Amino acid sequence: MKRSLLRRAALNGTGLLVFVFAVFPVFWMVSTAFKPNTEIFSTTPKPFPSHPTLDHFDLVLNGGIAEVSFWEYFRNSAVLALVTVVVSSLFALLAATAVARFRFRFRTTFLVMLLVVQMVPLEALVIPLFLDLKKADMLNTLPGLAVVYIGFAVPFAIWMLRGFVAAVPRELEEAAAIDGAGPVRTFFKVMLPLVAPGLVATSIFSFITAWNEFIFAYTFLEDQDKYTLPIMLQFFFGRSGNAWGPIMAASTLLTIPVIAFFLVVQRRMVSGLTAGAVKG
C-alpha cells in the first residue's frame, strides 16, 4: 500500500513538474504583455505585473507600426490557415483511404516517400520552391504560399490518417453494403465518423503549421498588405533594441486563435469516437 502511494505520488509530482516546465514560458509571455516597460527591464523581475497596462496591446492593435493594420495581417493568416486545413484534410483523407484499403504497385514506395519528405529540412527547400513559384507566376501571392503550406501538411496528414482508416473494420462497410448503401453513402455514414478523431488531429497540425510559419512567408511575400502575423512580429525587433512588451502582446494575440481552434475541434474529436459505433 505504501509503495503504491509513493509511486503514485512520484508520478503525480513528475507530471506536475513537466506541466510547470511546459506552461511557464506561456505564463511569462502573457504576464510580460501586461507589464509596463519599467517592470519588464527591472533588475528584479516579478512573475505578476504590479501595475498592469494595456498599452502594449493598444500599440499592436492600433499603433500603426507599419503601413498595414494588425487586422489585415490577421485576415491573411486566417485565410491561409483555413485553406490549408480544408484542402489538406480533403486530399489526405482520400489518399489515406486509398492507401489503407487498396493494394497497388509502388504502394510501399509511396509510404516510404511520405516519411522521406518529412525528414527533409524546410530550410533546404526555400530556394527550389522560390524558383518554382517564380516560374508559375505565384510569387508574392497568398495562393502560392497556400500551395506550399498544403504541400507540407498533406504527407504528415496522410501518414496519420492511414492508421485511423486501417483500424476501421471492413465488416462495417460490408454490412452497410448489404443494407443497400452505396460506396459514397458508406464513406460518409460509416467511414467518416470513425475517422473523424484522426481528421481533427491532422487539422490541428495543419492549422498550427500554416498559422506559425515564418520563413517561407517572409521569403516569398514582398508586399506588406500580404504579410502574415508572424512577419508582423519582426517590426518590433530593431538594431537599437527590442520592444519586448509589444512582442509579448503580439505573441499572446497570435496564440489565442490556435487555442480557440483547438477548443472548437476537440469536441468533434470526442464525438467522432462514438459516432458510427455499433453494438457487438
User: DSSP letter string over 113-178?
Assistant: HHHHHHHS-GGGGHHHHHHHHHHTT-TT-HHHHHHHHHHHHHHHHHHHHHHHHHHS-HHHHHHHHH
* 144 and 100 share one domain: yes
Which pLDDT belongs to residue 150? 92
Helix (H/G/I), strand (E/B), else coil: 237: strand
Amino acid code (one letter) for 57: F
pTM for the predicted model, two decimal places: 0.82
Q: Please classify residue 60 by burial: count the beta carbons closer than 10 Å to its beta carbon, then call 0-12 exposed, 13-18 middle and 19+ buried.
A: buried
Q: Which residue stretches of the chain have pLDDT < 50?
A: 272-280
Cα of first residue to Cα of last residue in the chain, in angstroms, is 38
Which pLDDT belongs to residue 149? 93
Which pLDDT belongs to residue 280? 38
Q: Which of 15, 13, 47 is nearest to 31 (CA)?
A: 47
Domain ranges, residue 232: 56-274
CA atoms within 13 A on the CB side of 48: 1
Which pLDDT belongs to residue 81? 92
Which pLDDT belongs to residue 272? 47
* 16 and 75 share one domain: no
* 10 and 74 share one domain: no
Which pLDDT belongs to residue 1? 67
Cβ(250)–Cβ(236) below 8 Å: yes
* 126 and 12 share one domain: no
And the C-alpha cell for 280?
Answer: 457487438
* 137 and 165 share one domain: yes
Helix (H/G/I), strand (E/B), else coil: 180: coil
Which pLDDT belongs to residue 211? 92
CA distance 44 to 41: 9
* 16 and 94 share one domain: no
* 65 and 18 share one domain: no
* 175 and 133 share one domain: yes
Q: How many domains does the chain have?
A: 2
Q: Which of 94, 82, 99, 197 is nearest to 149 (CA)?
A: 82
And the C-alpha cell for 174?
Answer: 460490408
Angle between helix 192-212 and helix 142-167 axes, rounded to 10 deg: 150
